[in-house]
Amino acid sequence: MKAVELTEETWPLLVELFGPNGAVTGCWCTFFLRDSAGWRAGKGDGNRDFLKSRLGDPLGLLAVEDEAALGWVAVAPRSYYPRLATTKAAAGEFPPDTWSVTCFFIHRTARRRGVGTFLLEEAVAFAARRGATHVEGYPVDTGGAKKGSGDLYHGTLSMFTDAGFGLVERKGANRALARRAV
């Protein structure tokens, strides 16, 4: 398995991974990249086109094996994500040059193979190579309970802490802010 950046060249891999529904109900991993009105209006093709228009910006990485994408992680400078300013899980002070891991999407056939953990480590390295001083995420604290994949697209707190992230703050019963210096 290798990690590749989302670029014009790797775009077809993301399209195939996300499928006709754009990962989840036409999101195309643009929820945090767009304001709420733009995101709702763009559901489906509009969000796909918006994400494609951002190629050239650092947007995320694909886990690729045998020329097929197994998973995706969205990672970019925190400033790229306007919605984080109003998201409870991300609220609070953050260091300059912080990058954010906002979403994971793992193909159903690749789950429980460590793809998310691999992508998180690769996201940290990717951000560090581009000048990040910190990487943060907004994972779900499962408390050890099994959750459906639809509840885990932010990653799990245990996955983040196992990757060297510290718990900055609990955000409600099931969410957390986790950060790692790079």
User: Do residues 176 and 138 lie in contact, with contact meaning Cβ atoms separated by under 8 Å?
Assistant: yes
- E strands in 17-172: 60-65, 68-77, 98-106, 134-137, 166-171
Tokens of 140: 């779900």
Residue 12 has pLDDT above 90, yes or no: yes
Does the model's pTM come out above 0.75? yes
Per-chain mean pLDDT for the chain: 92
Query: Residue 145 — very low, low, confident or very high, per pLDDT cuts 50/70/90?
Result: confident
Scan for tokens 């953050």, then name that residue. Answer: 94
**Mean pLDDT of all residues in 54-59:** 95
Give the CATH number of the domain where residue 43 resides: 3.40.630.30
Cα 167 from chain centre: 18
How many structural domains are present in the chain? 1
Scan for tokens 């969410």, then name that residue. Answer: 175
Residue 173 has pLDDT above 80, yes or no: no
Quick: pLDDT tens for 150-161.
Answer: 778 899 999 999
Quick: pLDDT tens for 96-134.
Answer: 999 999 999 999 888 889 999 999 999 999 999 999 999
pLDDT confidence of residue 118: 98
C-alpha–C-alpha distance, residues 165 and 147, integer Å: 21
**Structural domain that includes position 67:** 2-181
User: Do residues 90 and 102 lie in contact, with contact meaning Cβ atoms separated by under 8 Å?
Assistant: no
User: Do residues 136 and 101 lie in contact, with contact meaning Cβ atoms separated by under 8 Å?
Assistant: yes
